[in-house]
Structure 1
């Protein structure tokens, strides 16, 4: 994990940052990452705010606030986590492991914040700020990806319309008790499952799925997809996720 982050952080703090409360509960109530998440959230917000203020002198307060909100959103942070492969390092309880916790947007986003908090405590504010800027860079250097992270459902709808693919449909399921539900959303275009996402709400799950679908359709993912190259929705029945 330290090699992925390219920072010199106390291994014990990194281990704590990767420890989800479900793992802590199953191991006798050991410490977990929620306090580090709280700290990292503030550091992330400050670093992104200063970056946007300096780099976009012509934007007004409203637009700056909109962009900041998108960069610190669950959807954006989860995408960052997937880019660096953070899910493979998580310490999860059995229940989360069995329900796909390593790819849940909420867990991934929270862990990114916890890692930032751990970096701040171990290496100081300058190193933590530098880490934040490296993590958000993939969104900043690609204007289209940045826009998609701000509003993935609208971006996907516009891309699908431009390619004459019709309107995206979302298939949503839920699991877990009322106080701790997990939602799973799948984007369907022309009868094909394009991408899926999870979240702590239906909205977050659909946004995560929409961003995944936009990434694939735009050719920015590891595996792109072009539905216009098929013979239509009946051309195949395989899961395109």
Structure 2
């Protein structure tokens, strides 16, 4: 595999949180070949991740990813993935970014441009997401100590309208902060993007928070499963 086969995205910031959610919701959101990774009996993990991409094939844009955490796929000779995701809904600030991610990665999207704001203060990042006049979600992530990192993640996708299943290996290379101080917050609103979630049964604080400063996201070519 040559560097020409990879897809690169430069970002200014990436913040994320892991929140407890009902396993009953997770199972409904997952395809049949994937199982949720449970925190405890009947409690699975909702992952929210927000990016500001500054360099890509489709220019500058913001993106939010709602995903269920699943067991990673361990491969001989590879580092252990830090986490594995099944993104069940992605939102972007531009049509070009949306069409690119649907065509290349088979990621399911909310099909309108979102207003995504990432507001950084001394010790936290506040993310607000709006669909026109309608609120979608708000969340905050707090900062901790940063360390240089290059972390591997798995993302699983399914081609719309077919039974074709895929996995992408994604590397995140940037100064990285991660902690479990439960200092962040989450507010979900009734919206098409959150329709698969029992909102009152999703924790309003993350049990894990992470923050990547400016860096590079690298996708390997999709592997069909």
TM-score normalised by the chain length of structure 1: 0.25
Higher fraction of strand: 2
Higher fraction of helix: 1
Structure with the bigger RCO (C-alpha within 8 Å, sep 6+) is 2
- Higher-Rg structure is 1
